Structure 1
Amino acid sequence: MHIAVFSQYHTNPDCPATSRHYTLLTHIAKAHRVTLLTTPAWKGQRLSQAYPWVPAGVEIREARVPYNNKMGTARRALAFAQYGLWAVREGLRIDRPDVIWGISTPLTAAWAAAQVAHWRKVPWVFEVQDLWPSFPIAMGAVPTALARQQLYKLEKRLYASARHILPLSPDMTRYVTDLGIPAGKVTTVLNGTDQELAAHATLEAVQALRQQQELMGKRVILYAGTFGRANDIPTLVAAAEAMAATDTDAVWLFLGHGFFEPLIAAAAARSPRQIRLVGGQARHEVFTWFRLADVSIVSFLGLPVLDSNSPAKLYDSLVVGTPIIVTNQGWTRALVEQHNCGWYVPAGDAAALTTKLQELLAQPEVLTAAGSRGQALAIEEFDRQRLAQRVQIILEDASGKR
């Protein structure tokens, strides 16, 4: 079977990114022919050369469309349009696929997949990584009422035309079915984590990293991920600075890049012992940082659309036994409270976050027990190898050739 994959952002484990689809494609390409239509936007951000750019068996076609998360709204929109138009042209040139897999974000990637599916008369599967256009609209990136209306209409058409829909969280699934899409054509496939990469975070590796970073005897709070506008970074910085003023044994580590990097850098300059901007880490190395931490933060702004997020850092933290604090009211709060593997603090409340962290760091046995419960959950439910099997079956069923 031939599967065409439309994804604007391809990454591999050498990149400071989740690399979800690298794992999924590695599994699927063992059984099927795969053509990936993407861009090399992340290729220049590789931090190591431990992995091939694409998995064995994957044929790659790349559009030379630049993109990074520091771009303004207009520049991003141009990049999305450029990729979408290129992907339609390229999708009509490749050998006819049996099924198309369109991965949003952005919505234009899914639009391109749907267009090619229509013209080639093949089914397509729609993977929903974030709720578009609801997310950019909530962030103020779509200023006119007409544009918002047209994007919502496009979203509904794409849901209707897809043979199957794969949202990354139960809240996303609920959103889709609430639009009138039959529940039978929607399957939740969580973001998940890479257990084989998590196994690299041995006690020896953690100890070596702790010594290298001069963190012996320190209690570590970790934020690892994008420093984006949606991630409530100013609240984390405010909490870090409040703790730096009174608690010399607690150290905040910020791993990543993005819009608020200068804000973090300024705080780190003011409190270099308690606040550190580490920068991005390769996917296969980030798990050691998670295991090093006493607790990690999974933060977003308090917008309802963000409650549905399925952030990789949640799964990556839990799989190595590090408990988490979440700041959203949605399914992630329900998850950590149901399984007692983390805690909820409202978004935007730096004082509440500071108080909760001080309370938890004073009870290491509570953190250890919560981390153990989270690790057991992650091993049982969040393994990307199992998720890859599920996605492969859905693609096979959609093609009608299983």
Structure 2
Amino acid sequence: MHIAVFSQYHTNPDCPATSRHYALLAHIAQTHRVTLLTTPAWRGQRLTHEFPWVPAGVEIREASIPYDNKMGPARRALAFAQYAAWAVRAGLRMEKPDVIWGISTPLTAAWAAAQVARWRRVPWVFEVQDLWPAFPVAMGAVPTVLARQQLFALEKRLYHSAQHILPLSPDMTRYVIDLGVAAEKVTTVLNGTDLDLAARATPAAVAALRQDQGLNGKKVVLYAGTFGRANDIPTLIAAAEILVAADPDAVWLFLGHGYYEPLAAAAAARWPGRIRLVGGLPRHAVFAWFGLADVAVVSFLNLPVLDANSPAKLYDALAVGTPVVVTNQGWTKKLVETHGCGWYVPAGDAPKLAARLRELLAQPAQLQAAGQRGRALAAKEFDRQQLAAVVQRVLENAVT
């Protein structure tokens, strides 16, 4: 079977980003022919060269369309439109696929997949990574009422035209079904994590990293991920400053890059050694950093649309036995509380977050037990190899 994959942003484990689709494509390409239509936006951001740019067996077609997280709304919109236009042309010219897999975000990538599917008369499967356009609308990136109406109408048409829909969280699934989509047409496939990469964070590797970073005997809090507008980074920085001022053994690590990086750097300058800006790391290296942390923070702004998120940092932390504090009120809160692998603190409340973290750091046995429960949960439910098999079955069933 020939599968055409429409994904504007491809990454591999050498990039400072999650590599969900690298793992899924590697699994599926063992059985089926896979053609990936993407851009090289992340190719130049690889920090190592340990992995091939695409998995073995994946054919790649790339459009040279620049993109950067620091772009403003207008420039981003242009990049989205350019990719969509190119993807439609490329999809109509390529050898006819049996099924198309359209990955949003952005929504325009899914639109391109739908157009090619219609013209080539093949089914398509819609993967929903984030709720678009609800997310950019909530962030103020779609200023006009007409544009918002058009985007929401487009979203609904795409849901109904797809043969099957793959949201990345239970809350996303509920959102789609509430729009009138039949429940049997929707399968939740969590973001998940790479357990093979997590296995590199052996006790020896973590101990060596902790020694190298001078963190022996320290109580370590980690935020790892994008320093984006949606991640409530100012609250984390305020909480970090409260925490390290109150506890001389506490250290807060900010691992990543993005919009609020200067704010994190300024805090690190005010608290040298106590608040640290680590910077971006390749995907395969982040697990040891999660492993050395006593607790990881998974934060977002207090916006209902963000409660549906399926953040990679949640799965990555649990995969190495590090418990988490989440600030979403949605499914992640229920998950960590149900399985006893984390705690909830309301978004935007720096004093409360700092107080909760200080309380937890004073109870290492409780942290360790929660981490062990999280590791067991990750092994059972978050393995991307298992999730890839689910996606493959959906794609195969779309054709039959």
Same fold (TM over 0.5): yes
What residue is the counterpart of 1:93 in the other structure?
93
1:88-167 alignment runs, 5 A limit = 88-167=88-167
Structure 2 partner of 1:178: 178
Q: Distance in 1 between matches of 2:111 and 2:201?
A: 39
1:234 aligns with 2:234: yes
Following superposition, the deviation at residue 246 of structure 1 comes to 2.3
How far the C-alpha of 1:244 sits from its partner, in A, is: 2.2
Say yes or no: does 1:380 pair with 2:385.
Answer: no
The one-character-per-residue Cα deviations of 1:229-256 (angstroms, maximum 9, x if unpaired) are 0000000000011122222211111111
For structure 1, the 5+ residue unaligned runs are: none
4+ residue runs of structure 1 moved beyond 6 angstroms?
A: none
Q: Give the alignment of 1:3-402 within 5 angstroms.
A: 3-400=3-400
How far apart, CA to CA, are the structure 1 residues paired with 2:330 and 2:136?
18
Shift of 1:396: 0.4
Q: Distance in 2 between matches of 1:324 and 1:307?
A: 16
1: CA distance, partners of 2:88 / 2:261: 35
State how many pairs are aligned: 400
The 1-side partners of 2:386 and 2:65 are apart by 33
8 Å CA contact retained: 2:243, 2:355:
no
Quote the offset at 1:24 in angstroms. 0.2
State the alpha-carbon separation in 2 of the partners of residues 312 and 274 from structure 1.
Answer: 25
Shift of 1:272: 1.1
Structure 1 residue 208, shift from structure 2 partner: 1.0
**How far 1:101 moved relative to its partner?**
0.1
Q: Could you tell me how far apart the structure 1 residues matched to 2:397 and 2:303 are?
A: 36
Which one-letter code corresponds to 2:112 in the other structure? A
Letter in 1 for 2:214: E
Residues in 1 aligned to 2:332 and 2:156: alpha-carbon distance in whole angstroms: 26
After superposition, what is the alpha-carbon deviation per residue over 1:153-176, rounded to whole angstroms, capped at 9, x for unaligned? 000000000000000000000000
Task: For 1:170 and 1:158, locate their aligned partners in 2 and report how far apart those are by CA, in whole Å.
Answer: 19
The answer to whether the 8 Å contact 2:129/2:167 transfers is yes
d(CA) in 1 for partners of 2:207, 2:184: 48
Please identify, of 229-238 and 246-255, the stretch whose mean Cα deviation from structure 2 is larger. Answer: 246-255
Secondary structure, in 3 states, of the residue corresponding to 2:248?
A: coil
Letter in 2 for 1:253: L
Residue 39 of structure 1 and its aligned partner are, at CA, apart by 0.5
Root-mean-square deviation (CA, aligned residues, Å) is 0.5
> What SS does the corresponding residue of 1:225 show, helix, strand or coil?
strand
| Alignment partners' CA distance in 2, 1:184 and 1:320 | 34
The range that moved more, 109-118 or 239-248, is 239-248
Inter-partner Cα distance in structure 2 for 1:233 and 1:326: 13
Q: CA contact under 8 A between 2:14 and 2:48: conserved in structure 1?
A: yes
Report the Cα offset of residue 64 of structure 1: 0.5
CA distance in 2, matches of 1:249, 1:335: 30
Q: TM-score, normalised by structure 1?
A: 0.99
Unmatched tracts of structure 2, length 5 or more: none
Amino acid at match of 2:28: I
Is the contact made by 2:11 and 2:19 (CA closer than 8 Å) also made in structure 1? yes
Letter of the 2:306 partner, please give it: L
Cα shift readout 1:257-302 (whole Å, capped 9, x = no counterpart): 1000000000001101210000111111111000100000000000
